[in-house]
Amino acid sequence: MSQIIGNSNLSIEEALQENVRWGKTIWFFTLQGVFAYFMLKQDYFLALEIDLPPLIISLIVIGFLYGCVSNFIMCYLIKLTGKLFNTEGSYKNIMKAFSLAYRPHLYTVALIVLHLTIAHFFESSITQENMIALIVIISVLKIAIGILAIWALVRLIKNLMVVQNITMGRAILNFLAAIVLYLPIYYLLVMEW
């Protein structure tokens, strides 16, 4: 398990001294992709009438594709828009910043799997007595997922500050500028065919 998570106390300064670990980078991009795609298409995944293991596997495969494509592009756009803000930092260091920031998504994905499991097994046999308990449990899971997502975003901004050697305000503006450039790509990745 420690190989999957890596050193959870690893700071961005220490990560910058290491070579890019492509396996871990792709792993954390996949976790973020699972989170992002589930949040975008949550109703779709909850409405699917398939068994739980294929549902989870399909979410992970889609998360892998979405996470890797979107994050490699987003890292490039951060590097590109960083020129407007006179930033430093290489593309690989920006990938390290993203990868390190996405570590909370390990817990987020576990909560998503728990959410899917509860929805799959209990919503079909819901009774009036356990409906309130189910609503409370799902609400708590959604709040926990939201808190972890905010934590990952804060970590990302902090990491970009260090990697690009800029202030928090410039890091936020750089991130927002990259998001604006990313919107057409985002639309192509998530639009329904």
- 3-state SS class at 9: coil
Confidence of residue 124 (pLDDT cuts 50, 70, 90): low
Confidence of residue 120 (pLDDT cuts 50, 70, 90): confident
- Please tell me the distance from the alpha carbon of residue 106 to that of residue 47, in angstroms, as a whole number: 24
Mean pLDDT score across all residues of the chain: 86
pLDDT at 129: 66
pTM: 0.84
**Domain extent listing, the chain:** 8-190
Q: How many CB atoms lie within 10 A of CB 90?
A: 13
Cβ contact 59:45 at 8 Å: yes
Nearest CA to 186 among 51, 64, 73? 73
pLDDT digits (tens, 9 = 90+) for 17-54: 778 788 999 999 999 999 998 988 888 777 777 888 88
Q: Give the single-character DSSP code of 19.
A: P
pLDDT digits (tens, 9 = 90+) for 141-189: 999 999 999 999 999 999 999 999 999 999 999 999 999 999 988 888 7
